[in-house]
Every structure is written in structure tokens, then in C-alpha cells.
Structure 1
Amino acid sequence: MTQSTRKTATLLIDCPDRKGLVAAIINFLVQQYDVNILNADQHQDAELGLFFMRVEFATEAAGFDELSFRTAFQPLAQQFQMNWRIELADAPQNVCLFVSQYLHCLADLLHRHQTGEFHCNLALIVSNHESARPLAEFHHVPFYYLPVGRENKQQVERQQLALLDEHKIDLVVLARYMQILSPKFVDAYPRRIINVHHSFLPAFTGAKPYHAAFARGVKLIGATSHYVTAELDEGPIIEQDVARVSQNDQLPSLIQKGRDLERLVLSRAVQWHLDHRILSYANKTVIFA
């Protein structure tokens, strides 16, 4: 395949599990678009009887585009009762970062974007504090300071949603944004808001999980990245990691170890989302390698 005519795309599917699914999907791709399969992975949930598949492929077919694919694939999707989507690789996603006073996750994401780890357009940074402005300016990302209080929360959310709409944002990343989003905000971006929680969920929810973990004398601390839902800290978990602690770790060192984990789990979640490696179902996720 020549680089000038090759198009790449990712097909994501979940549906009731049954025989013949893989053959039907691959045969369609090969016969309809003469594809080259770059990567294919699948998963079965035996308890729920569900099938999940991710196929990354390349094609030189002249008639291949999103609309033609949707039209051609729909009969097969109906036959197997598929939930599915096709993601073309030609256009990078527009990403917005939300942050409050803690800047370690923001700094890590900005660095990874600058070094080319994330294939996306980092469109803007929104914060309820001014402390993130120097980082935004250093990385040449537009910065919007929108202070939030009880009396203006709804007004600020309207401003935030207007900014996201103006910049055609595909993904919102809460890089330690310490405000609770309203159900209306969350509903506007279903499975497109990623949060990092400074705890190994479902343990130690709330605002100060490190303090609670320290008081409990835990031997492991963790961090969790998850999709945001209307229920606080209850969205589908994307990634988690842990670090061992001991009686020698006082609260400051425990917090520092936790922040290192936060950087890792958030960056992995963002990368996997941008690469279309996540399928969400039943408040859980399937992560394709």
C-alpha cells in the first residue's frame, strides 16, 4: 500500500456472543474494502454472554469513508445486534484539560503531548485557579481562568460548555480538577470525560483519600483513572496502579508516591482513549492491548 492512498481506521464492536462473529466481521472487511488487518483483538464476557472486538485496519479502497462504511456495515451489524463505531485515523481528536491547584498531572500530560506521545490537538486548558497559567503559556496552549463558587457554578458550567462546543472538543480530561461536574455537564460528554482519583477505588472515595489511607495504616496506596458519570467516583474504571508503603512513610511521602501513580494512570487512560482501545459496558471497561 502506498502512503498517499492508504487510510487507516479502527472498528469497535460489542454484541451478544455467538458463533461466526469473527469470521463474519473479517470477511466483510476483506471482501468489501480489501483491507490489511493491522491489529485484531477480542474478548468474551462469559457471565453476561457478550462479545467485544477491536480491529485496526488499513485500506486503499477508493470508496472508503465513514459514511460509505456505515451504510455497508449496517446490515451485518443488525444481523448480530452489534453496538459499534468506526474511528478514522486521519483527524486528531480535540482535547481539553481541566485543572485546579495541583499541577503534577497537567505538567505530565503537557510534556507527553509536546514529545509526541499523544496524537491529538490540545485545544485549551480550563482552570478555576491562576496557578496553571504559566504552564499553559509555556506550552502555547490557550488558557481560560473561570473561578467557581457556589453562587456562580451554573453560570461557569455554561461558559465551560460553550468553550468546549466552540473548540469542538472530543475529550475532556480532569487533571486533578477539584470540582464536581453537574449531571447536565456529564450527559453532554458521555464516556468522553476522564478523571483521575487519588485512591484505589472503590476504597477511600471523597476529597482526602490519602489522609484517610494514612489514618487507616494501609500497606498499599493506589490511584484510579475512570470515566466520569453522574455518580461521584463511580464511573467505569480504566486504569489503576499501586505502590507499597510502610510505617516509615509519613503523610507527605505517601502523598508524593500517590501523585506519581496519578500521573501514570491518567496518562495511560488518555492514551488508550485516543487510540480507541476502550470499550465500556455495565459500568466496566474492556481495554484492548
Structure 2
Amino acid sequence: MSHDSEAVTHWVLTLSCPDRPGIVAAVAGLLADHGGNITESQQFGDELSGLFFMRVQVTAAASREVLEGALGELAGRFDMDWSLDVAGRPVRTLVMGSTAAHCLNDLAFRQRSENLPIDIVAVVSNHTALEPLAQFYGIPFHHVPVTSTTKAAAEARLLELVAELDVELVVLARYMQILSDDLCRELAGRVINIHHSFLPSFKGARPYAQAHDRGVKLIGATAHYVTGDLDEGPIIEQDVERVDHTRGVEDLVALGQDVERRALARAVRWHAEHRVLLDGRRTIVFR
């Protein structure tokens, strides 16, 4: 049977490897050999790390097994890390929050109305304040209290849910608990946090009060991957809003919530669309 008569799938391929001549030609040639038509291609060579990064969208009739087999052979030649997925497939996502609802509400609304390519399969919270919102969107809600004595059990329950629900991405949507180093390692590259300040400034508690005290002219928010180093994981996206001396702390909080929503939504979308590749402590974002 010819490729023309087979079902065509729109794939997204991402890869990173040590930079050397011939990578793009080899990838393009492999895809062409399997009837692929490249619809989008972006690449970047990082002189600092010596790594090459590439994201390709391609339509092809070849099966996943055939493409993965060929890519596995190519990866051996170039020492590649790579992934292949169906373009636009909703990523199974678990959202964690505490009491603030704006980020959860925004993600759930964008999933429903703006084709944000995620499937929120659960909301987990250490409080019950978000349960009505989760119910409104028809998302299962799990109350997992966290205290100094129950933290280990709470994280074990989280990992159970990740496994049971086949979760691919965890989003900390103003979840006001610090994840343990062990949990960060277990879910490395799969947890996105929104920090309500423009990192690295004003880390920790009450960042808007800190910002007001310093008389800042810009407030911002930072979406980043979570690591064991508090609020220092690889940054995916940042956004800012200009303010002046007339703004009080409550004004900064209200403005900041909108900035948080925007930055988090973009970071989640780019991750779900496989546009974010890790480069040590930094990220490569193909927008």
C-alpha cells in the first residue's frame, strides 16, 4: 500500500545532541525516506554547552514503530536524546493549588475554550477552597493535606495519583508548599511552577510586599521547571507589568495575578507543544 492511501499523522520530533555537521541533513533525510513532509523546523546550536537542539513538525504515513525504530538508529550515530509525539495531542496534566484560584481557573478555561493542548485529569490541593472550581469544570478533586508530619505521605499520595492517572505534566498553580528534593528528582522536567515575582528578585514569601517596599517600577511573574533549588529551576517564560509609586500592595497583587496567568499559560502551552528543551540550567524555547 502506498503512503498516499494510508492515514497521515502529524508528528512533532524534538532532539538534542552534541553539535556537529550533518545533523539537520540526517534528520531531514530520514524523514524524507519515510515519506515525511516537514511543515515546521527550528534548530539552535548553543556555543556555551556545545549542544544542538531541534524541533520538527512533519506529516508522515509511516507508523510510530517504524519512525521510532529509524530514529533510534540515528540517535545512536549522533548520541541524541529525542522524543516523538503526535502534534496537538492533549498532555495529561495534574494541577496543584492551595487557595488562590486564578491560575487554575485560567488553565481550565483555556483548555475548554482556547484549545490549550492539555487534559487536566485531576486537581490536588492541601486545602478544600478549590474544590467548587474543580467541580464546575468537571475535574476530579483530591484533598491531600500537608503538615510537617504528613509531608512524606502527601508526596507519596501525589506520586500514586501521577502513576494511576498516567500524568505527564504537573502544574503548580500557586501551590504554596515546597516539594522535597526526592520528589523534584522523581518528576524532573515534568513540573512547572508559577512564581509570583520576576525571579531571581523577591523570592520566598510576600514577594509583592517586598517589591512595594523597594519601590519597583515593574512587577512580573516567572514560570519555571521545578528543581530541588527553591525557585531556581530553568525558566520557561516571564512576563511583566509596569507600575508606579501610586500603586499599593493590593494593586500589585491584583495586577500580578493577571501577569501570573499569562506567563503560566504560555509556559504550559509551549511545554505541551514540545517547544521547550532543557539546556542545563536554561531552556531552549522554540516559539
Give the structure-2-normalised TM-score: 0.95
* Matched AA of 1:233: D
Which sections of structure 2, spanning at least 5 residues, go unmatched?
none
Q: Which moved more, 1:90-99 or 1:170-179?
A: 90-99
Q: Secondary structure at the match of 2:17?
A: strand
Cα distance between partner residues in 2 of 1:145 and 1:160: 10
Structure 1 position 69, deviation (Å):
2.3
After superposition, the C-alpha distances for 1:157-185 in whole angstroms (9 at most, x for unaligned) are 11121112111111000000000111222
Cα distance between partner residues in 1 of 2:4 and 2:269: 27
Q: Does the CA contact (< 8 Å) of 2:220 and 2:259 recur in 1?
A: yes
The residue number in structure 1 matching 2:281 is 283
For 1:125-164, what aligned pairs fall within 5 Å after superposition?
A: 125-164=123-162
Question: How many residue pairs end up in the alignment?
Answer: 285
* Matched AA of 2:231: D
Q: Percent identity?
A: 43
From 207, 210, 216, give the equivalent of 1:209.
207
The residue number in structure 2 matching 1:37 is 38
Q: Which moved more, 1:268-277 or 1:45-54?
A: 45-54
The residue number in structure 2 matching 1:172 is 170
The residue number in structure 2 matching 1:109 is 107
Over aligned residues, Cα RMSD in angstroms?
A: 1.6
From 175, 198, 201, give the equivalent of 1:200.
198
Q: Secondary structure at the match of 1:47?
A: coil
Change beyond 3 A, Cα 1:162–1:245: same
Q: Which moved more, 1:39-48 or 1:269-278?
A: 39-48
Cα distance between partner residues in 1 of 2:70 and 2:242: 52
The residue number in structure 2 matching 1:60 is 61
Q: Secondary structure at the match of 2:120?
A: strand
Q: Which moved more, 1:67-76 or 1:169-178?
A: 67-76
Q: Does the CA contact (< 8 Å) of 2:57 and 2:87 recur in 1?
A: no
Change beyond 3 A, Cα 1:91–1:247: closer
Cα distance between partner residues in 1 of 2:5 and 2:127: 45
For 1:8-19, what aligned pairs fall within 5 Å after superposition?
A: 8-19=10-21
Q: Secondary structure at the match of 2:41?
A: strand
Q: Does the CA contact (< 8 Å) of 2:103 and 2:174 recur in 1?
A: yes
Q: Secondary structure at the match of 1:121?
A: strand
After superposition, the C-alpha distances for 1:43-92 in whole angstroms (9 at most, x for unaligned) are 1212332211100111113xx21x33232222322222222121234853
Structure 1 position 94, deviation (Å):
1.1
Q: Secondary structure at the match of 2:130?
A: helix
* Matched AA of 1:13: L
Cα distance between partner residues in 2 of 1:4 and 1:204: 55
